[in-house]
Chains A and B, each alone.
Chain A
């Protein structure tokens, strides 16, 4: 089954304790992205990656790191989490079409609810 998986789904941690949220897709997609969703602010892009070893900042990258060593995985790293990073996080992926209808539907993971105390 084609899917994007995230782990963990729920996490409660304390300020300053490094954590990693994993994201994996089995569709051989080049493009992957991380969003956070907060009440009243909608979904905002944190980082994205156009392919292996190619990453770039989105709108709210402060306090986050990413890596793309393999095509299927795109982990989100919080080196020193703070309470303002309490949020619902989504990973998304899609292919980058070369020709034809360039609509590229994005597939989203189930979400990771993070609480930083």
Chain B
């Protein structure tokens, strides 16, 4: 699985967009980009995933650069409840990877402030 690099921490004002970057310069063609978050020692929560195209769901948007070497997770209107550690994970899907494990790096600790 490709290595990812994320800033250790970021701040965001409540109601503003939070843009969390992730570098994955060694990503290979069949690897997806996944984002999870962990709120204060709770179980990690899936947010979004993508392969090549930008993706949007009810929680967030994922922007992947054309060369796929980096991506940005966007929380459009951050709230205090979005304060969490956000993990960018790059890997092949489970059906190609018997172990199925998710490799959580150090992530980005996002603090949303009033």
Contacts and interface: CB of A to CB of B under 8 A. Distances in A.
Given A4-B43, A111-B42, A111-B43, A96 B105 contact: no
For B32, B101, B105, B106, the residue with the greatest tally of chain A CB atoms inside 10 Å of its CB is: B101
Interface stretch (B7-15, B16-24, B71-79, B89-97): B89-97
Contacts of B103: 42
A13 to B, nearest CB: 20
Q: Identify whether the interface residues of B are mostly helix, strand, loop, or mixed.
A: loop
B101 A96 contact: no
Interface residues of A, number: 31
A58 to B, nearest CB: 6
B102 A106 contact: yes
Chain A interface SS verdict (over half): strand
Interface in B96-114: 96, 98-106
B102 A31 contact: no
B83 to A, nearest CB: 18
A81 to B, nearest CB: 20
B41 A111 contact: yes
B44 A104 contact: no
A1 to B, nearest CB: 14
Interface of B: 32, 34, 41-46, 49, 93-96, 98-106
The 4 closest A-B pairs by CB, nearest first: A108-B43, A102-B93, A45-B101, A105-B46
